[in-house]
Amino acid sequence: FAHDVVDRAVLRRELLRLVERCTAALRGRDRRGRRIALKIRYPDFTTVSRSRTLADPTDSAHRVFAVATELLDGNLPRGTAVRLLGVRVELLVCGVVGEQLTLDGDGAHWPDVERAADAARSRFGGAAVRLATLLEAPGRSGCGETQSPKSGNQIG
């Protein structure tokens, strides 16, 4: 961050942006991972890393974000400023592996949604498809840069 951040909403938006980028790279390389790791750096440059190992490998931003958010919430006391956030996926496997489906179907559509968004970004540029949470609103500083969809050039 350009400055220390205390606001949880800003931290979550940045975490979501990082997760989107990380999982898109995984899907682009036909990889999945079992361990989600979060790095938090404080203003005094103390750095902590926490991770959680999943039962099954994933490349889903939805699932990685849920785990990363739990790690953030469980390891960042309220009111604590953050200088840097990082997220990574480890214990990678190649290709399609078996996936345990749930009976309620919760989240079953996310892989299709994420792959469609990857295809649109590949064809039209990185800003072609974004989660609404990552869009900048007038008068609010967002986490991402504002770009024109086709060229990826910064607007402004």
Instruction: Decide: 63 and 110 in contact? Cβ < 8 Å.
Output: yes
Q: How many residues does the chain have?
A: 156
CATH of the domain at 118: 3.30.1490.100
pLDDT score, position 125: 72
pLDDT score, position 39: 98
pLDDT score, position 148: 38
For the chain, the domain total comes to 1
pLDDT score, position 55: 95
Name the residue range of residue 112's domain: 8-94+105-134
pTM, rounded to two decimals: 0.70
Spell out a b/e string for 108-117, using b for 16 or more CB atoms within 10 Å of the CB, else e.
eeebeebeeb
Could you report the per-residue pLDDT of 109-137, keeping only the tens digit for each? 666 676 666 667 677 776 666 666 665 65
- State which residues of the chain have pLDDT below 70: 96-112, 114-119, 121, 126-156
pLDDT score, position 121: 66
Which phi and psi (to 5°) does residue 151 adopt?
-90, -25
Look at residue 39 and tell me if it is in a domain.
yes
Look at residue 120 and tell me if it is in a domain.
yes
Please tell me the distance from the alpha carbon of residue 26 to that of residue 24, in angstroms, as a whole number. 5
Residue 112: CB partners within 8 Å, gap ≥ 6?
none
pLDDT score, position 150: 42
Look at residue 16 and tell me if it is in a domain.
yes
pLDDT score, position 97: 61
pLDDT score, position 83: 97
Other Cβ atoms less than 10 A from the Cβ of 68: the count is 28
Look at residue 90 and tell me if it is in a domain.
yes
Task: Concatenate the DSSP letters of all residues of 33-82 into one string.
Answer: EEEEEEEEE-TT--EEEEEEEEEEEE--HHHHHHHHHHHHHHHS-TT--B
Look at residue 78 and tell me if it is in a domain.
yes
Look at residue 84 and tell me if it is in a domain.
yes
